[in-house]
């Protein structure tokens, strides 16, 4: 047997294994895909799908929504098991998958509407849109159904076919989501599941048969994709990355409500949301009273397995490696001048359950500008509002920011000067509306927001000058 043959056979035998964070038990395993085969099937399927009337494509994604409704509870239970989020939160994710369909249909009609401008002498100027072709969707693990679906459905409506590579940490959810598309009558070539790890993802990104890459995940991976495709302007690339998101707490009589907004922003999904608040910037004169309220509420948070009774607010983080990294990060902050308000506690050394943690990092000379993807909230005390805005902008990221309290004039200043793609007032940093764009600036994105604006990167505009008969003359410069 040649070395090349042995290598090919070894690759074909490779498998991805998914385990429950809450128990460590294996729940799924599957073979790694052949990248070339996946792309070849997608390219064969694209002409037929693109030729379908728009009304047909819309009807098929509506059937997909109905299939998800039928599988709502099994899908929610699978999400809860595979990524560790509480069952109530997994159910909310399934509802978001269904809701995305009608939002995407409405958004496509609005963002890519056909237009015609008539002129008697110049004929007609028409604007229509075309699909790109084969779109690669790289899904994250924190919302393993909703976030990839937010790329897949708009891509399908526009007439693209999709290669869907779920996170290697959530392949079972990806498989069930793909099955719902197939049961709706969308073929396995039009929505194709590609199981694999980082290597397969890199090969798909660089493959000549892929026309676009739609990514949701970490800044490091997004930068790697951007670098890999720097010489390929022919490929559309939409990067939705994370954030070192600030939440500014200012004058407010609603102390209890403000504390709830901070805790929800920082600790929902065990802090594993790209929009989660990582930094609490608080007016110094409010610090003691507000932190007492926030800590009291954080101390009441139930951390547990997805199906526990009473239901937990937080489940585990995705795996032990993530838990170890977060524990090391908290220790680093503590060793470099941070003061623990609420310690990060590992409940079981063998499982990735972490308590919500709060640490005052005001005294840190050089606060690390990183996305700590878990339940760690850094507190920074400031004396005036200009300092609060400057601190909010003290990051290379720019995804979400929120002001809690303050006057309308304060919010106007905050909105005008804070650099972020999502800016809220007296709302959490998390949970953006389905009917709004979702994306950021800096290391949080590449100016191709998803959400309601996903249609913008799923189809390209074509301007056409049209006349039913040729009519022209040259009036200058002829002998």
Active site residue 20: no
The C-alpha atoms of residue 377 and residue 380 are separated, in whole angstroms, by 10
- Active-site option among 33, 67, 180, 274: 274
Which phi and psi angles does 86 have, rounded to 5°? Answer: -55, 150
| Helix pair 54-70, 146-158: axis angle to 10 deg | 160
Distances (CA, A) of 438 to 5, 253, 264, 453: 45, 31, 19, 8
Phi-psi map region of 163: left, alpha, beta (phi>0 left; psi -120 to 50 alpha): beta
Contact 298, 277 (CB under 8 A): no
- Active-site option among 89, 200, 240, 293: 240
Tokens matching residue 125 = 């100027």
Active site residue 26: no
237, HSE (Cβ side, Cα atoms, 13 Å): 22
Which phi and psi angles does 314 have, rounded to 5°? Answer: -125, 140
Nearest by Cα to 24 from 460, 442, 351 = 351
3-state class of 357 per DSSP?
strand
Contact 251, 286 (CB under 8 A): yes
Q: How many CB atoms lie within 10 A of CB 112?
A: 21
The C-alpha atoms of residue 312 and residue 353 are separated, in whole angstroms, by 12
Residues annotated as catalytic are 240, 274
């Amino acid at each position: 047997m040649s070395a090349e043959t042995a290598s090919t056979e070894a690759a074909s035998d490779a498998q991805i294994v998914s385990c429950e964070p809450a128990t460590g038990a294996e729940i799924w395993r599957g073979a790694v895909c052949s990248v070339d085969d996946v792309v070849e099937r997608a390219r064969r399927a694209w002409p037929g799908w693109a030729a379908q009337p728009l009304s047909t494509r819309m009807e098929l994604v509506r059937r997909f929504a109905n299939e998800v409704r039928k599988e709502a509870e099994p899908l929610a239970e699978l999400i809860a098991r595979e990524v560790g989020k509480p069952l109530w939160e997994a159910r909310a994710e399934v509802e978001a998958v269904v809701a995305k369909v009608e939002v995407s249909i409405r958004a496509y009609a609005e963002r890519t509407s056909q237009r015609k401008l008539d002129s008697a002498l110049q004929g007609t100027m028409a604007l229509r849109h075309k699909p790109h072709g084969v779109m690669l969707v790289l899904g994250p693990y924190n919302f393993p159904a909703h976030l990839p679906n937010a790329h897949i459905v708009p891509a399908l409506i526009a007439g693209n076919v999709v290669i869907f590579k779920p996170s290697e940490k959530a392949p079972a959810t990806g498989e069930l989501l793909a099955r719902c598309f197939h049961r709706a009558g969308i073929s396995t070539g039009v929505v194709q599941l590609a199981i694999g790890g980082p290597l397969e993802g890199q090969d798909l990104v660089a493959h000549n048969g892929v026309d676009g890459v739609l990514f949701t995940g970490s800044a490091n991976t997004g930068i790697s994709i951007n670098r890999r495709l720097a010489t390929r302007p022919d490929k559309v690339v939409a990067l939705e990355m994370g954030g070192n998101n600030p939440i500014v707490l200012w004058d407010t009589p609603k102390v209890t409500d403000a504390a709830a907004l901070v805790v929800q922003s920082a600790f929902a999904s065990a802090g594993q949301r790209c929009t989660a608040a990582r930094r609490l910037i608080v007016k110094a004169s409010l610090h003691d009273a507000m932190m007492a309220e926030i800590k009291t509420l954080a101390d009441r948070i139930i951390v547990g397995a997805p199906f526990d009774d009473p239901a937990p607010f937080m489940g585990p983080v995705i795996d032990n490696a993530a838990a170890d990294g977060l524990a090391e990060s908290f220790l680093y902050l503590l060793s470099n001048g941070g003061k623990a308000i609420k310690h990060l506690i590992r409940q079981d050394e063998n499982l990735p359950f972490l308590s919500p943690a709060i640490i005052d990092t005001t005294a840190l000379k050089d606060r690390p500008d990183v996305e700590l993807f878990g339940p760690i909230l850094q507190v920074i005390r400031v004396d005036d509002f200009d300092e609060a805005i400057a601190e909010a902008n003290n990051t290379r990221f720019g995804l979400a920011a929120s002001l809690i309290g303050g006057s309308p004039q304060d919010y106007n200043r905050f909105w005008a000067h804070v650099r972020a793609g999502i800016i809220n007032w007296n709302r959490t940093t998390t949970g953006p509306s389905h009917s709004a764009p979702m994306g950021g600036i800096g290391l949080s994105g590449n100016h191709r927001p998803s959400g309601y604006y996903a249609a913008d990167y799923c189809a390209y505009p074509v301007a056409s000058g049209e006349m039913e008969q040729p009519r022209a003359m040259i009036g200058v410069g002829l002998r």
